[in-house]
Amino acid sequence: MGPVISVVIPVFNEAAILPELYRRLVATLTTSSESYELLFVNDGSTDSSLGQMVKLSERDSQVRVIDLSRNFGHQIAITAGIDHAAGQAVVIIDADLQDPPELIIRLLEQWRAGYQVVYAVREQRRGETRFKKWTAALFYRLIRRITNVDIPVDTGDFRLLDRMVVEAFRQIREKHRFVRGLISWIGFRQTGVPYVREERYAGETKYPLRKMLKFASDGITSFSFMPLQLATYLGFIVSVLSFLAICWVLYQFLVARHTVPGWSSLMVAVLFLGGIQLITIGLIGEYVGRIYDEVKRRPLYLVRQQLGFPRQ
């Protein structure tokens, strides 16, 4: 028999946080008086995180470690954790203590009340740059507008999934995954619990701007064709404008008989059209690239070693 609760924790260079994280998780889960397992996913850490997790798993039989062969990124690390979780309820939580472990108790309450997905909604974000808060707020609202999946705003991956949702999630093997969107797509009964997102306990964010942009474009492209349609709209607008311009040019030529050298207008038209064409080819490229990645059918991740799992 598996435990009642599995906690999935993606870890990428979080050595300074692990002892405190472990302490708070155990303290919280003990008060819940349910059986549990802690599933640490080492996402290619280069600091002493792995050594610490291995020690924890030797000391505590409820700790499991999945050591990935390299850094695969946050969303894949979460997926690896969910794939290996045995609990009836699976909680996903960041390692950096921005998501308070104590909230798990409130997530469990809603789960017992009959919800299959209980996500934590950030009412406030502490200790993050204004740029991060602003771009995050914009992103959640944009994605909500242009996708046809009901992705709740201001929620991260901190959430509880019922076994049914976990089984559904395991069937989804797409590469460029936007986990919170996929879970919204799965459906079932979902609800939110508000919380205040704390400051990072220690260390730096592991999401530099480059990763944030990739994350945002994965989220948008995997749930929306809007950017591709944008190309069509732009095409229409430009065609209408061009048609008007052609009428004007013909008028100048045939009626006014007044043709100027016209270098500036030509340059403007050429550059404008060139820009629009490059943008739209780029947009199409984003999707084609993703199609290519999907058809290659590589595994989502590779596991180097697994520690602390009960023998079957």
Which residues contact ligand UDP by CB under 6 A?
Answer: 10-12, 14, 43, 71, 73-74, 77, 94-96, 98, 205-207
CB of 309 to Mg ion, least distance (A): 27
Q: Please choose which of ligand UDP, Mg ion, none residue 154 contacts, taking the beta carbon within 5 to 8 angstroms, the exact cut-off set by kind.
A: none
- Between 10 and 227, CB nearer to ligand UDP: 10
Residue 14 or 218 having the CB closest to Mg ion: 14
Q: How far apart are CA 7 and CA 92, in angstroms?
A: 6
- Identify what 111 binds: ligand UDP, Mg ion, none; CB under 5 to 8 Å per kind: none
β-pair type (89-92, 63-68): unpaired
- Closer residue to ligand UDP in complex, CB, 127/235: 127
- Using CB under 5 A as the criterion, which residues of the chain lie in contact with Mg ion when the complex forms? 96, 98
Dihedral angle of Cα 302, 4, 27, 159, to the nearest 10 degrees: 60
- Rounded to a whole number of angstroms, the minimum distance from the CB of residue 268 to Mg ion is 46
Q: Which does 43 bind (CB under 5 to 8 A by kind): ligand UDP, Mg ion, none?
A: ligand UDP
Q: Which is nearer to ligand UDP, 4 or 160 (CB)?
A: 160
In the list ligand UDP, Mg ion, none, the entry touching 80 (Cβ below 5 to 8 angstroms by class) is none
* Least Cβ distance, residue 43 to ligand UDP (angstroms): 4
Q: Would you say 17 or 108 has its CB closer to ligand UDP?
A: 17
| CB closer to ligand UDP, 132 vs 189 | 132
Report, in Å, the least distance between residue 125 CB and Mg ion.
Answer: 10
Residue 252 interacts, among ligand UDP, Mg ion, none and using kind-specific CB cut-offs from 5 to 8 Å, with none
Which option in ligand UDP, Mg ion, none does residue 65 bind, with CB closer than 5 to 8 A by kind? none
CB of 94 to ligand UDP, least distance (A): 4
Which partner from the list ligand UDP, Mg ion, none does 201 bind, CB cut-off 5 to 8 Å by kind? Answer: none
Map the chain to HEC letters: CCCCEEEEEEECCCCCCHHHHHHHHHHHHHHHCCCEEEEEEECCCCCCHHHHHHHHHHHCCCEEEEEECCCCCHHHHHHHHHHHCCCCEEEECCCCCCCCHHHHHHHHHHHHCCCCEEEEEEEEECCCCHHHHHHHHHHHHHHHHHCCCCCCCCEEEEEEEEHHHHHHHHCCCCCCCCHHHHHHHHCCCEEEEEEEECCCCCCCCCCCHHHHHHHHHHHHHHHCCHHHHHHHHHHHHHHHHHHHHHHHHHHHHHHHCCCCCCHHHHHHHHHHHHHHHHHHHHHHHHHHHHHHHHHHCCCCCCEEEEECCCCC
Closer to ligand UDP at the Cβ: 73 or 227? Answer: 73
